[in-house]
Structure 1
């Protein structure tokens, strides 16, 4: 089967919707034509000139990266820095680049879940759930069509709350309408007041699915004119947000845990605050720069918070509430390319998928 670049993008954005990315981010198609046929996909954390060359050598015309190579605006393409040289090389080689960054960080089965898997955590929860990413639909339907319409909405992605699906609310009532001259009513007659037994139904859904949900409603509803309301919900979405917290299967002594952490994450070094002489059981984490979640980790009762890019004075903020550990940005997200390959393999098993062998970490240790 032939797949186009737009097919891959559509699938990736169903897994990690672009609307979930931070405002400063640039997760999207950065280079390439959506109508190009895909010959192979290379999964990587970063995109560099070496990674583009690797894609060409392996016959891949698409690179799926976690970090966007174009993060700030480009005002020229003259090759004066590694960003411009990489983009120029990709364009010349006709290799597309797609970035899936903080939106992949924010989904419950994303980057942080992969880190938690490597560490062996269970009972996982989002550390800082996002608000304002849910919408409630309220509509009015004939009682005889209620189940058909609800099923259509559920199939479109409505009615999922945590580990429960097909969630809805309904209340019975009477609707009235008077079809005017140009109307073509499904029930009733033009010029005659009609009264119909109806249900008011309510369902919640992720806001990014709004177009799909409204389309499903209109296609399944028998009325010529469908009455409905959309309300943005301020509730936290427990499936979307920053960081993660979970528990070890068995608590560990502090020194033993850090030895284990280095083994599981392939770490050369870990910077951390002083040990607190108590066992490690609950672990909070955030791939990449996550110090902004330190307060959340404390409130969650974590024994240790694992992240990266922690500044000197920020280590003091742990304030003996927990151990704050900086494992390095590259190291914290190294396994993201495995995650990307796993995600893509679920849909595109007949496309050649590769993990990049290029070490893009700009930091070395002696």
Structure 2
């Protein structure tokens, strides 16, 4: 951890969030990443919001001197054909540009990520034995091999393990180490850590082998190079056939104790901070196994059935999906799309911790603007 605080750029703050939710996790149709602003812009204030395409959120950002909005829902999703400032959409973009406010979007990548939206929603319901509802892909594992002088062996091992290399199941920092003799001749123009130009050097070295996933390969290699003493580091990366962690949308797990659908719905309302929820199914039906998917997830009800769910919690459920699910014996609870906002404090805590780790001086806070478009009479 850096003792000296520095001002972070948009790009650096985005990189911190992408350690948890890499852009490569996003669905192919999604629009994620920096949508408005300059990646080199320095950032003092970051505001988290569920929605970026909301004038109230933008006005709040202006009033509070925000440099960067990080949102779950995109500011720009469909192609922009015109940019007329006499339209609501054009006016919002004009405000962002006029006040030099960037907009960064983490959508399905944050849904899918471990510790992201769906894990937080499942955690709020205290679900046990949680697994992915619908697999999108698995991480790809690679073998990283690096040759290290014995004097810096422990230092490089620590750098590898602390940045996520060597995870096998629930074991971290897994490596295999083989001692040997390394040779090299420093040529003209080099500044060797060991040896002299033009002289064959022999060094007691260790061959370190470990596992790294494609999601954090770049970060691991960067940390390894920083910890390694050599001017030119000898290392190899081999693709492996074995699959890594399963990643996907939604989660499914078991309640601590069985409830009726009515009791469970009241529990959802309490845990998600909503006053109303639509339900599909008999109120007195007992439920224990729960599928949950933040946002709009009605089309995943067949996967919920396949995973043995008694009830599926998701937003924006339409009439015919509700009919079909009920006919197949699946209850549903719709607390609304806006429930995803309860995840923002967890994202705030993660980002604050990362900024501290890297020594960045930026304030992170959650928007106070209510972006829920629905009211109930």
Note closer, same or farther for the CA distance 1:61–1:227 as it changes in structure 2 (3 Å cut): closer
CA distance in 2, matches of 1:296, 1:4: 42
Pick aligned residue for 1:341 from 345, 348, 361? 348
CA distance in 2, matches of 1:175, 1:271: 69
CA distance in 2, matches of 1:318, 1:258: 16
Note closer, same or farther for the CA distance 1:227–1:108 as it changes in structure 2 (3 Å cut): closer
Note if contact 1:152-1:217 (Cα within 8 Å) is conserved in structure 2.
Answer: yes
Pick aligned residue for 2:45 from 29, 40, 47? 40
Q: Aligned-residue CA RMSD in angstroms?
A: 3.7
Give 5+ residue unaligned stretches, structure 2: none
| TM-superposed deviation, 1:247 | 2.7
Note if contact 2:143-2:240 (Cα within 8 Å) is conserved in structure 1.
Answer: no
Pick aligned residue for 1:110 from 116, 120, 139? 116
Note closer, same or farther for the CA distance 1:114–1:86 as it changes in structure 2 (3 Å cut): same
The aligned length equals 361
Note if contact 2:166-2:172 (Cα within 8 Å) is conserved in structure 1.
Answer: yes
What does 1:118-197 correspond to in 2, within 5 Å?
Answer: 118-139=124-145, 141=147, 149-168=156-175
TM-score (norm 1): 0.81
Pick aligned residue for 1:305 from 312, 325, 346? 312
| TM-superposed deviation, 1:286 | 0.7
- Structure with the larger strand share: 2
Give 5+ residue unaligned stretches, structure 1: none
Pick aligned residue for 2:7 from 3, 13, 31? 3
Match of 1:241 in 2: 248
Match of 2:216 in 1: 209
Per-residue Cα deviation, 1:96-147 (whole angstroms, up to 9, x for no partner)? 2121211111122111122223323344333334424323125374896876
What does 1:213-292 correspond to in 2, within 5 Å?
Answer: 213-216=220-223, 220=228, 226=234, 228-231=236-239, 233=241, 235-238=243-246, 240-275=247-282, 278-292=285-299
Note if contact 1:284-1:297 (Cα within 8 Å) is conserved in structure 2.
Answer: yes
Per-residue Cα deviation, 1:57-111 (whole angstroms, up to 9, x for no partner)? 1222222211111112223321364433221111112222121211111122111
TM-score (norm 2): 0.79
Match of 1:359 in 2: 370
CA distance in 2, matches of 1:181, 1:357: 61
CA distance in 1, matches of 2:207, 2:48: 47
Note closer, same or farther for the CA distance 1:198–1:304 as it changes in structure 2 (3 Å cut): farther
Q: Equivalent residue of 2:48, what SS?
A: strand
